């Protein structure tokens, strides 16, 4: 039997040797190293030990009793650790000294839509005929099977999720609460990529999935006037200014260059977001 035939499987073998850091487990006449730090007790020669068998990044035969997060037929989210344009993305499947490659054949044609380091993608493990471990990216059909049915009762709720597929009309998202969501391009706040975490709000539902938006609610939008007031407060001594919605219109015009009506609307916007407060003739920047 070739060594590569054993990779990616959960197998048992016999302890044939030990040193200070490792036990050496023989399976089908082939030796695999096991970190003693994984065991509660020191094994003895002849003991049977089972674990997941693989080849490390440094081409060392390894067996681990710590099962990887993803295996053949077992899907889970894995963090992207590195990206190579000529190969694909490397993800952490939970194996010591071994990241799994999601091939570029699994990824979008546009490199701008590829996951970046730190993103999360759902994968399962695949083992090719040479014993190499690969990550297979979950497709829409799998997410559809996992997803809960959405209803109109979810409207206006905040949802965090990860991008799972990108289309011309918008982007599919699987939320952390396992709803399938869709963000039309008009409701996105910029270009998206597979695996990116997005913070959204529910604006409706259709076809058992949520319609999502990344755009802020109307009261959450900070207008240019509000941005100017925030900048003034951030640079003011003690983060306060002697102007409120009761101030003289001409004083406001002279200092800010805007009408009192615009000033009051900007203050109202910031107070709804709890960024400022008014007290004793002053407007204060609230400490976060």
Question: CA torsion angle for 240, 245, 247, 251 (degrees, to 10)?
Answer: 80
| Rounded Cα gap, residues 200 and 150, in angstroms | 15
Stretch 176-200: mean pLDDT, rounded? 95
Per-residue confidence band for 288, with pLDDT thresholds at 50, 70 and 90: low
| Rounded Cα gap, residues 143 and 279, in angstroms | 52
Q: How high is the mean pLDDT of the chain?
A: 92
Has residue 46 got a pLDDT over 90?
yes
Task: Indicate the SS3 state at residue 214.
Answer: coil
What per-residue confidence (pLDDT) applies to 136? 97
| Rounded Cα gap, residues 170 and 160, in angstroms | 17
Per-residue confidence band for 221, with pLDDT thresholds at 50, 70 and 90: low
If you search the block for the tokens 């992207």, which residue do you land on? 80
User: Could you tell me the pTM of the whole model?
Assistant: 0.73
Domain residue extents for the chain: 3-64, 76-138, 147-213, 222-285
Has residue 207 got a pLDDT over 90?
no
Tokens of 183: 């963000």
| Rounded Cα gap, residues 142 and 152, in angstroms | 24
Q: Which fold has domain 222-285?
A: Arc Repressor Mutant, subunit A (1.10.10)
Stretch 65-84: mean pLDDT, rounded? 95
Per-residue confidence band for 82, with pLDDT thresholds at 50, 70 and 90: very high
Q: Are 193 and 117 in contact (CB under 8 A)?
A: no
Domain 76-138 and domain 147-213, same fold? Reply is yes
What per-residue confidence (pLDDT) applies to 182? 96
Stretch 130-147: mean pLDDT, rounded? 94
pLDDT tens digits, one per residue of 226-269: 889 999 999 999 999 999 999 999 999 999 999 999 999 999 88
Mention every residue, 6+ apart, whose C-beta is less than 8 A from residue 101: 87, 88, 89, 90, 91, 133, 134, 135
Q: Which fold has domain 3-64?
A: OB fold (Dihydrolipoamide Acetyltransferase, E2P) (2.40.50)
CATH number for 147-213 (one of 2.40.50.140, 1.10.3720.10, 3.40.50.2300, 3.40.190.10): it is 2.40.50.140
Q: What strands, in cross-sheet order, belong to the sheet with 240-241? A: 240-241, 282-285, 276-279
Tokens of 63: 């067996």
Stretch 119-135: mean pLDDT, rounded? 94
Which class is 76-138 in CATH?
mainly beta
What per-residue confidence (pLDDT) applies to 222? 73
């Amino acid at each position: 039997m070739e060594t590569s035939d054993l990779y990616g499987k959960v197998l048992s073998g016999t302890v044939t040797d030990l040193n200070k850091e490792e036990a050496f487990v023989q399976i089908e006449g082939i030796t695999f190293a096991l970190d003693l730090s994984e065991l509660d007790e020191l094994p003895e020669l002849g003991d049977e030990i089972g674990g997941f068998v693989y080849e490390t990044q440094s081409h060392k035969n390894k067996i681990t009793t710590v099962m990887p997060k993803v295996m053949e037929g077992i899907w889970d989210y894995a963090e992207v650790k590195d990206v190579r344009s000529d190969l694909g993305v490397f993800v952490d499947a939970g194996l010591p000294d071994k990241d799994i490659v999601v091939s570029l054949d699994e990824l979008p044609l546009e490199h701008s839509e590829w996951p970046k380091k730190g993103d999360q993608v759902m994968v399962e493990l695949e083992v090719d005929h040479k014993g190499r471990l690969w990550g297979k990216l979950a497709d829409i059909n799998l997410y559809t099977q996992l997803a809960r049915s959405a209803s109109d009762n979810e409207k206006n709720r905040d949802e965090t999720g990860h991008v799972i597929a990108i289309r011309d009309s918008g982007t599919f998202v699987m939320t952390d609460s396992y709803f399938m969501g869709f963000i039309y391009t008009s409701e996105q706040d910029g270009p998206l990529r597979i695996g990116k975490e997005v913070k959204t709000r529910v604006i409706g539902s259709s076809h058992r999935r949520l319609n999502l938006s990344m755009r802020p609610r109307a009261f959450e939008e900070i207008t240019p006037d509000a941005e100017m007031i925030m900048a003034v407060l951030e640079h003011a001594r003690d983060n306060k200014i002697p102007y409120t919605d009761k101030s003289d219109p001409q004083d406001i015009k002279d200092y800010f260059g805007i009408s009192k009506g615009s000033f009051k609307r900007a203050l109202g916007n910031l107070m709804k977001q709890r960024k400022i407060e008014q007290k004793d003739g002053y407007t204060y920047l609230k400490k976060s």
